[in-house]
């Protein structure tokens, strides 16, 4: 479906341009994989680019799975049903939240430095990632963005399963997903011909190039490496 994240960003930007119509707004890219996608979207739309640092609270014995998520402003969402199914006690849950919060705070400082916290000014905010899996991490980002009182909250992703779309769509004003798939097995990487995990250093490089530009508008065209 997509050659790589930059190609996905180009296609997503074209669809967002069709349905949004705004001349200004804010793109919040979720690191790591959402930053290359978001950078292209911000550039094509002429929106300001920033990062929305969120992270899933990992299941202790399976770091690929999460039972909740934490955002940059400290918001926590728990999948209570999954917590019960896992049989996690309160101490284990709270330890997981505390560990995740520390990671989020460190990455927020690392990626943004001493830049002032982003404000929406009543503008549209587009939250971008390279895809949804469960959708729960995106949901905590939406919850935090709502507190900034934007005019609209939009989620833009190249790919997602039906279940994640059903979870997130009711919580936002608009959800744009180019490749919605059903079936029992889903992986974001399956929508990409070229896929790899971006390092924090690569994310920082993309952001530095954008924030060093004369304006704070979005930027794009930075090739993925690795």
> Over the chain (226 residues), what is each successive 10-residue block's mean pLDDT?
95 95 89 94 91 94 89 94 92 95 95 84 93 94 95 96 96 97 89 94 85 45 38
Task: Give the pLDDT confidence score for residue 117 in this predicted structure.
Answer: 83
Topology (CATH level 3) of domain 56-110: Ybab; Chain: A; (3.30.1310)
Burial environment of residue 92 by CB neighbours within 10 A (0 to 12, 13 to 18, 19 or more): middle
Task: Give the pLDDT confidence score for residue 65 in this predicted structure.
Answer: 85
Q: What is the pTM of this model?
A: 0.90
Ranges of each domain in the chain = 5-54+124-211, 56-110
| Helix and strand numbers, DSSP H then E, in the chain | 7, 8
Task: Give the pLDDT confidence score for residue 226 in this predicted structure.
Answer: 33
Task: Give the pLDDT confidence score for residue 212 in this predicted structure.
Answer: 56
Task: Give the pLDDT confidence score for residue 218 in this predicted structure.
Answer: 37
Task: Give the pLDDT confidence score for residue 77 in this predicted structure.
Answer: 94
CATH architecture of structural domain 5-54+124-211: 3-Layer(aba) Sandwich (3.40)
Burial environment of residue 82 by CB neighbours within 10 A (0 to 12, 13 to 18, 19 or more): middle
Task: Give the pLDDT confidence score for residue 194 in this predicted structure.
Answer: 95
Q: Please give the Cα distance from 187 to 194 (Å, whole number).
A: 14
Task: Give the pLDDT confidence score for residue 211 in this predicted structure.
Answer: 66
């Amino acid at each position: 479906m997509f050659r790589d994240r930059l190609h996905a960003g180009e296609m997503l930007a074209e669809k967002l341009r069709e349905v949004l119509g705004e001349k200004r707004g804010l793109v919040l890219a979720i690191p790591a994989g959402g930053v290359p996608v978001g950078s292209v979207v911000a550039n094509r739309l002429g929106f300001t680019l920033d990062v929305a640092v969120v992270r899933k609270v990992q299941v202790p014995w399976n770091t690929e799975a999460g039972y909740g998520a934490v955002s940059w402003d400290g918001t926590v969402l728990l999948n209570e049903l999954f917590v019960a199914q896992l049989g996690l006690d309160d101490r284990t849950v709270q330890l997981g939240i505390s560990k995740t919060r520390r990671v989020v705070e460190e990455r927020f400082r690392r990626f943004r430095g001493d830049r002032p916290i982003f404000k929406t000014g009543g503008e549209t905010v587009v939250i971008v990632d390279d895809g949804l899996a469960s959708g729960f991490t995106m949901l905590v980002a939406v919850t935090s963005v709502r507190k900034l009182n934007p005019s609209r909250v939009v989620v833009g992703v190249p790919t997602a399963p039906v279940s994640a779309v059903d979870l997130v769509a009711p919580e936002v004003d608009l959800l744009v997903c180019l490749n919605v798939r059903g079936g029992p097995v889903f992986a974001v990487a399956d929508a990409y011909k070229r896929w790899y995990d971006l390092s924090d250093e690569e994310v920082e490089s993309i952001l530095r190039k954008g924030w060093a530009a004369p304006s704070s508008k979005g930027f794009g065209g930075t090739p993925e490496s690795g």
